[in-house]
Amino acid sequence: MTSPKSIFFLTVLFLLPVFYLLPSSAHAQAKIVSPNYIIQMPNFNSGAGIPSSSGYKLDTTIGQTAPGLYSSTGYLVRSGFQYIHSIIPFSFSMSNFLINFGTLIPGTPSTLASTLTVSAGGAGGYRVTAREATSLQTTGGQSIPDTTCDAGTCTESAAGVWSQVSTYGFGYNMTGQDIPSDFINSTYFRHFANAGLSQTDQVVMSNVNVGRGRVATITYKVNISGVQASGRYQNKILFTAIPSF
């Protein structure tokens, strides 16, 4: 009689904002630099800030050269201190970052899901990447392999169909907004990029446009064979959310 196997899976979330600044033309007062500080656009203004009351909020720029919104076919130029901040602040959240599959039954796949939500107002959109620290492992060194799907062809960067109960391993599926195109439907899975094997983090959500409340679901799946060693298996998944300005 095959003894039940138990598995515990921990997903850890890190948020890493990265700001991309395009090189500017050479202008007087473009930047003031010392060993201790950098001041961008060092104009002295007679009035600036965001005055507000119960009925309004107003951005002001006084003294800066040619502030305002300029447009033509194919572009918009927003000039002025009031355009430095975004009307859609960057945010990233996960609904369920502790995944516990409990006791596994050989040949009976188990799935659990988390919801990823992103808002990004930067001109370059955003991306969310993911990787695992190692494969699912016990403290004694036993491991559950990453899935290669039914045909043995899915990888950390390419999804494949995983629907057979005789296909074992650990992987994930993505559904919803801004997901990679190879997740054609709920039967398509990848395995996570493995940091222990020096594999590169892979994008699980991305969009080059601004957006508010972009939502995708990540579904984790694990299936073990009858000869899988009993034990408490665990792993850590790193998600990195990166805005682009």
Confidence class for position 22, pLDDT limits 50, 70, 90: very low
Return the bridge partners of 95, or none.
none
pTM of this prediction? 0.71
Residue 15 in contact with residue 127, Cβ under 8 Å?
A: no
| pLDDT, tens digit, 9 for 90 and up, residues 161-219 | 999 999 999 999 999 999 999 999 999 999 999 999 999 999 999 999 888 999 999 99
Question: Domains plus CATH for the chain?
Answer: 5-17+90-243 (2.60.40), 31-83 (no CATH)
CB 205 within 8 A of CB 116: yes
List 240's β-bridge partners, or say none: 14, 129
Q: Which position has the token pair 């792993």?
A: 235
Polymer length in residues for the chain: 245
Mean pLDDT computed over 107-117:
97
pLDDT at 15: 47
Q: What's the rounded Cα separation, in Å, for the pair 120 and 5? A: 41
Check if the beta carbon of residue 18 is closer than 8 Å to that of residue 240: no
Q: Across residues 125-147, what is the average pLDDT?
A: 95
Confidence at 42, pLDDT banded by 50, 70, 90: low
Pick 10 or 54 by higher pLDDT. 54
Residue where the block lists tokens 């801004």: 178
Confidence band (pLDDT; 50, 70, 90) for 36? confident
